[in-house]
Amino acid sequence: MGETNMPQDKGLDHTLKLLHEGYHFIMNRSDKFHSRVFETHLLGEKTICMVGKEEAELFYDNTKFVRKQASPVRIQKTLLGVDGVQGLDGAAHHHRKAMFMSLMTQEGLTQVGVLVQEEWKQEIEQQSREKINVYQAAKRVLTKVALRWTGVPYQDDQIEKWADYLSDMFEDAGAVGLKHWQARRSRSKAENQLKELVEAVRREDIMVRQDSALYHIVWHRELDDELLDAQIAAVELLNLLRPIVAIAVYIDFVVLAIHDYPEEVGKLESEEAMEYFIQEVRRFYPFFPVAPARVKTNFDWKGYTFEEGTLTLLDLYGTNHDPAVWSNPKTFQPERFQSWKGSPFDFIPQGGGEFNIGHRCAGEWLTIEVLKVTLDFFVHHLSFAFPEQNLAYEMNDIPALPKSNVIISDVKFK
Ligand code: HEM
């Protein structure tokens, strides 16, 4: 072994090209090599890249790939945290994942929807309605929703601080230099506070609702029947709080789509039409670029040799724009979801495969609920205008956000 039979990117390292080409890096090379699988070097390491539906099916086969040490340390120290569910495999993963999925009941989702509605109403009432920055407002709204839904106690004057900690972790996860360090600092401050909270709940200094996520995580028992280490409990609490706030990125794109596709907004009369619109926002706009894993043991697939231990990236954005699956992938067409068959491998903005036994995002249903309630609120309960602004976004910014963050003006309740 050692020699590859995959198409190979020439040159020593392509990290700079990745930074330059961003969301298009894998698709650009896949087109050039006429291959859905190729090999490159990123951050000094041999890396296999894959894009497409069949490739997603391969990637989510637990007999072929593992997650242990798949994410770079710099991403663990900012975005994900160390020793959380993302890096677990096998029985330990299934057991921890079940803890997350047990929170995603119909009741839990309905509850989150009610909170989102309440907090949007309050946010708009409290803001100067002349001009609202949708992304910043969504972060405040979702910070309150996240703390309330999980049962983490807070004072009103702590909201800005929580919003900053939680958003630094996903806004600056891929950053270098000062911003990277700021994201690390925000994570360690948030982890410390939550660790103290977990310990206080265990000492019964603080009482929490038994149906809350906080209660579930504090008293969750591992396969050896031990409670989670308080530090890891804090990491897993952040695995709920941080991504709930990150839905602000999609909310910004929902409102951008309202601006860019007014003819589609006119069709939002039914539940289905609202759902198709949300799904198309998640397919069309860039957010999470790739999912990482490592080859579990040597195997061959379609004539290619996968060597044990090799870092492998599945292109989520590229698979959502794959012309082999999506007709006119570069066009915003919510109705395409009318005939979508619901495959777990072709529409993967939040990862693919199965929720319980795989690493597919635990919060996908919650994300859809938050977006549906928010879309309904903006389209059916508010009227607003779009002032002059710069709505362009860059495909090598992660997350890519419109330059002006989407500003709405003359905001009124209908
Ligand atoms: C904001 C929109 C979101 C995006 C784009 C997103 C995306 C993702 C992606 C790409 C993964 C990794 C999939 C993989 O490794 O195969 C993931 C995993 C995860 N997400 Fe999300 N997510 C979002 C929202 C949420 C929310 C709202 C929650 C919780 C309330 C959440 C909780 C998780 C957890 C716990 C995992 C780890 C799952 C595992 O390793 O088994 N996410 N997410």
> By alpha-carbon position, which residue is closest to atom 18 of ligand 1?
361
Q: Which residues pair with 45 in a beta bridge?
A: 42
**Alpha carbon of 153 to those of 157, 164, 192, 212, 301: distances in Å?**
12, 17, 15, 11, 50
Q: Report CA dihedral (55, 243, 397, 10) to the nearest 10 degrees.
A: -30
Pocket test for ligand 1, best of 350, 355, 356 (most atoms within 8 A of CB): 350
Q: Could you give the CA distance from residue 226 to residue 91 in angstroms, rounded to a whole number?
A: 15
Q: Is any atom of ligand 1 closer than 6 Å to the C-beta of 246?
A: yes
Q: Could you give the CA distance from residue 107 to residue 57 in angstroms, rounded to a whole number?
A: 31
The Å distance, Cα 349 to ligand 1 centre, comes to 9
Phi, psi of 302 (to 5 degrees): 50, 40
> Do 206 and 200 touch, CB atoms closer than 8 A?
yes
The Å distance, Cα 168 to ligand 1 centre, comes to 17
The Å distance, Cα 361 to ligand 1 centre, comes to 3
Q: What is the pLDDT of residue 173?
A: 80
List b or e across 230-260, with b for residues whose CB sees 16 or more CB atoms inside 10 angstroms.
bebbbbbbbbbbbbbbbbbbbbbbbbbbbee
Q: What is the pLDDT of residue 295?
A: 98
Q: What is the pLDDT of residue 292?
A: 97
Q: What is the pLDDT along the chain (414 residues), one digit of tens a residue?
A: 445 689 999 888 998 899 899 999 999 999 999 999 999 999 899 999 999 999 999 999 999 999 999 998 889 999 999 999 999 999 999 999 999 999 999 999 999 999 999 999 999 999 888 999 999 999 999 999 999 999 999 999 999 999 999 999 999 887 778 888 999 999 999 999 999 999 999 999 999 999 999 999 999 999 999 999 999 999 999 999 999 999 999 999 999 999 999 999 999 999 999 999 999 999 999 999 999 999 999 999 999 999 999 999 999 999 999 999 999 999 999 999 999 999 999 999 999 999 999 999 999 999 999 999 999 999 999 999 999 999 999 999 989 999 999 999 999 999
What letter does residue 329 receive in the DSSP assignment? T
Q: Is any atom of ligand 1 closer than 6 Å to the C-beta of 405?
A: no
Exposed/middle/buried for residue 8 (C-beta within 10 Å: 0-12, 13-18, 19+): middle
Extended beta strands in 259-413, E state: 290-295, 299-301, 304-306, 311-315, 382-385, 407-413
Q: What is the pLDDT of residue 1?
A: 45
Q: Is any atom of ligand 1 closer than 6 Å to the C-beta of 97?
A: yes
The Å distance, Cα 125 to ligand 1 centre, comes to 31
> By alpha-carbon position, which residue is closest to atom 11 of ligand 1?
361
* Residues 189-192: contacts with CB under 8 Å, at least 24 apart: 189/165, 190/162, 190/165, 190/166, 190/234, 190/238, 190/241, 191/81, 191/231, 191/234, 191/235, 191/238, 192/234
Give all domains of the chain, ordered by start, each with its CATH number: 15-413 (1.10.630.10)
Instruction: Decide: helix, strand or coil at residue 408.
Output: strand
Pocket test for ligand 1, best of 253, 361, 364 (most atoms within 8 A of CB): 361
Q: What is the pLDDT of residue 129?
A: 84
